[in-house]
Amino acid sequence: MEEEELADLALSIAAVGLIQPLVVKRTGARFEVTAGHRRLLACRLAQHSPVKCIIKAASDVDPLAILVHENAHREAVNPVEEARFYQRVLGELCHNDVDELCIKIRRKREYVEDRLLLLQGHPEVVEALQQKRIGIGVARELNKVRDPLRLLVLLDVAKTQGATARQVAEWRTQGELMGPIGAAPAEDPRAGDAANGAPHSTGMVCLFCDDGDDPHLMEFIYLHRPCKKILLKMLNRIPDQQQQQS
């Protein structure tokens, strides 16, 4: 929880009290918090005492399941933090058995595998998702991009300009048709540029300068097709024959 969110929760508890009790279990002569650690910290900040608690016997419900659902449904845990939690439980308590993990935390296998796969994505995608600069849907689509350089370009666009998962999926599909950024085009006996030492096309060309260098500095810009024709005409990029036809 961010400091501001914790402060807001403490102010709320100071004003109206603790609405949702903590869930605890008995451990010897004391009690251990199963769910509500953040609320307990906020109560301490607000000097709110006593704190309402629901005592659960160990046989009533799996404390791990309570903790997972508490975080997932009430406190909107970041997907990356949730995935790392599942990964730790998988190794420490479930003998790396995903089915056992699903039973323990009361989650469907598809959901758990989806979260675990996030950690196998590109490190910069994982970091952006953890920092809430992109959404989980965008992260899924970015992790499907096979060209590392194009992935970084799309990630930068998603962070700086905003993007939906659908937009990233469309960009990914278009990129697959163009081929990897910076890769040499397929050999064609009719094309002599490669043999003459001309630079290979990257598949990404600046609309203004008609140059494919430094693709990491490029940004996606949306244009209506008629507007694109007008802009190209202004830049003298449309051949005379094509101008006459338009």
Which is nearest to 99 in space by CA: 113, 110, 109, 111? Answer: 109
Two tokens, residue 22:
């903590």
What is the average pLDDT score of the chain? 77
Measure the N-to-C terminal CA separation of the chain; round to a whole number of Å. Answer: 58
- Could you give the C-alpha distances from 239 to 36, 54, 203, 225, 233, in angstroms and in order? 68, 77, 21, 17, 9
CA atoms of 1 and 141, how far apart (whole Å): 27
Alpha-helical regions (H) of 31-185: 37-45, 63-74, 79-92, 98-105, 109-118, 123-130, 136-142, 148-161, 165-178
Nearest Cα to Cα of residue 80 among 37, 131, 155? 131
H/E element, 49: none
Angle between helices 79-92 and 63-74 (to 10 degrees): 170
CATH of domain 1-77: 3.90.1530.30
CA distances from 18 to 38, 46, 161 (A): 12, 10, 40
Extract the residue ranges of the chain whose pLDDT is less than 70.
1-4, 15-16, 58-77, 181-204, 215-222, 237-246
pLDDT of res. 237: 66
- State the span(s) of the chain assigned CATH 3.90.1530.30: 1-77
Q: What single-letter DSSP state applies at residue 30?
A: E
Counting Cα atoms < 13 Å in the Cβ hemisphere of 160 gives 12
What is residue 118's predicted lDDT score, i.e. its pLDDT? 93
Name the DSSP class of 216: G
Phi, psi values for residue 185, rounded to 5°: -70, 160
- 131, 5, 185, 159: which is closest to 142 by C-alpha? 159
Distance CA 219, CA 223 (A): 13
Angle at 140 between CA 138 and CA 145, to 5 degrees: 95
